[in-house]
Amino acid sequence: MTVYTPAEAVEETGFTLDTLRYYEKIGLLEPVERNAAGQRRFSEEDLSWLGMIRCLRDTGMPIAEMLRFAELVRAGEHTIADRIRVLEEHDRRVQAQIANLAERQRYINHKISYYRSVL
């Protein structure tokens, strides 16, 4: 089994060490294994989970909702339907954000065209 030092986990996930500690403290990340010297050692599973958290965070999911999702995952297979609902609702919000950004981009492009026409 491959293990990662905190520095390697930071490099792999893009999270800061403080963020990783915070996520562990609030229960978003399961307690991380430690070596004999008490240093954290992240597993492939930890990094995979952090990849999911990165995706949810980068798409605007609030921490409280990420915690709810984490609770559902930890509760077992019988929560899959609930997990789907959480992700579908989040996906709807992401789609709305994308539509809003596309509209804003059209406006910006319109302004660019206008300014080029007055040169």
73 token code pair: 């995952």
pLDDT exceeding 90 applies to what percent of the chain? 98
Q: For residues 94 and 84, what is the distance between their CA atoms, to the nearest angstrom?
A: 15
Fold of 3-117: Multidrug-efflux Transporter Regulator; Chain: A; Domain 2 (1.10.1660)
C-alpha distance from residue 47 to each of 15, 16, 102 (Å): 11, 13, 32
Domain coordinates in residue numbering, the chain = 3-117
pLDDT above 90 (res 1): no
pTM recorded for the entire structure: 0.87
Among residues 37, 26, 30, the alpha carbon closest in space to that of 73 is found at 30
Mean pLDDT across 79-103:
98
Specify the pLDDT at position 94. 98
